[in-house]
Amino acid sequence: MIIPPLFKSIFVFCVLINHLFTDFEGFQTNPANGHPEFRFISEKQEIMGGFSQARFVIQQMGGEFTQDPELSAYVAYVGHRIAAVSDRPYLPYDFVIVNDSKPNAMCLPGGIILISHRMLLELKSEAELAAILAHEIGHASARHCAKGIERRWIFDLIGDPFALIPRWFGLGMTRNEEMEADYLGMEYMARAGYDVRAVISIADRRRHLVKKSLLPLELFKSHPSHDTRLQANLRHAEKFPLSGDREEETYQTMVYWYWVIRQV
Ligand SMILES: [Zn+2]
């Protein structure tokens, strides 16, 4: 059914008015970066929105990977280890492996983190898994997903008659948000005791493989895709100690065990 733009704007306007008189939060401080921000949706709405979207998004990404419960528990263990030291440790974090055939990871509002099984196969150590999950937890901590919803509401309300607003704006993360999630992710990795250099090893491998055209460009799309961003991450990584857990053997045993026993 096609909804006329005027009715759509009226609907969104009514939703916003409803929020003004119910869970409206107004000016608040961002829990991750400390900046003041104007909130249209409350934390409760953010969490409920994430859970209501989750089933649909997981289906879109090939459904949940349930064949290896030990691997699911391992990913959840790494995720919760980082979430516990994040700036929003109280969110109801959930870490779900999905069957998406592309290497992919994403965060839904309220702390639901999805990572594709294919992505797990591309990583080499627990520290690299921690790097991917920490980046997504950075998005959750800084309310990037909630801000995406707020942007979408505003654009739905005001419309875009001249198509001036790029299609992607308000739907995904902005470049600044990606860089902030990179920084926050490294901070959380260090707090959780992981080797922050895993962020650089992922980026280096990606650059090498893309250069040789061995991998699709969307690989590690939630990680540095521009040289400037990579250089910024390199500089930021230098601030952390050159130590921390890498756990290469543990990771490879956990990730490949299911495939080994299937071959027997
Ligand atoms: Zn991201």
Q: How far is the CA of 223 from the centre of ligand 1 (A)?
A: 6
Q: How far is the CA of 185 from the centre of ligand 1 (A)?
A: 10
Q: How far is the CA of 3 from the centre of ligand 1 (A)?
A: 31
**Does residue 65 surpass a pLDDT of 70?**
yes
pLDDT of residue 168: 41
Q: How far is the CA of 100 from the centre of ligand 1 (A)?
A: 17
What would the mean pLDDT of 68-90 be, rounded to a whole number?
97
Q: How far is the CA of 169 from the centre of ligand 1 (A)?
A: 14
Q: How far is the CA of 183 from the centre of ligand 1 (A)?
A: 11
Q: How far is the CA of 209 from the centre of ligand 1 (A)?
A: 20
pLDDT tens digits along 19-59: 555 556 778 899 999 999 888 888 998 999 889 989 999 99
Q: How far is the CA of 30 from the centre of ligand 1 (A)?
A: 18
Quote the pTM value.
Answer: 0.81
pLDDT of residue 169: 44
Q: How far is the CA of 22 from the centre of ligand 1 (A)?
A: 31
pLDDT band at 224 (very low <50, low <70, confident <90, very high): very low
Q: How far is the CA of 141 from the centre of ligand 1 (A)?
A: 12
What would the mean pLDDT of 253-258 be, rounded to a whole number?
84
Overall residue count recorded for the chain in this entry: 264
Q: How far is the CA of 199 from the centre of ligand 1 (A)?
A: 13
pLDDT of residue 14: 59
d(CA 225, CA 202): 11
Q: How far is the CA of 115 from the centre of ligand 1 (A)?
A: 12
Spatial neighbors of 200 by CB under 8 A, at least 6 apart, are 233, 234, 237
Q: How far is the CA of 109 from the centre of ligand 1 (A)?
A: 13
Q: How far is the CA of 26 from the centre of ligand 1 (A)?
A: 26
pLDDT tens digits along 122-168: 999 999 999 999 999 999 999 998 888 777 777 666 665 544 444 44
Closest CA to 117 of 100, 132, 129: 100
pLDDT tens digits along 206-221: 776 655 544 444 444 4
pLDDT tens digits along 99-133: 999 999 999 999 999 999 999 999 999 999 999 99
pLDDT of residue 166: 45
Q: How far is the CA of 5 from the centre of ligand 1 (A)?
A: 31
Query: Which uninterrupted H or E stretch holds 192?
Result: helix 175-192
Q: How far is the CA of 164 from the centre of ligand 1 (A)?
A: 24
Q: How far is the CA of 50 from the centre of ligand 1 (A)?
A: 16
Q: Which has more confidence, 9 or 62?
A: 62
Residues above pLDDT 70, as percent of the chain: 75
Average pLDDT taken over every residue of the chain:
82
Q: How far is the CA of 181 from the centre of ligand 1 (A)?
A: 6
Sheet containing strand 94-98, edge to edge, reads: 94-98, 112-116, 105-108
pLDDT of residue 219: 45
Distances (CA, A) of 213 to 128, 208, 217, 227, 235: 22, 9, 9, 17, 27
pLDDT of residue 3: 55
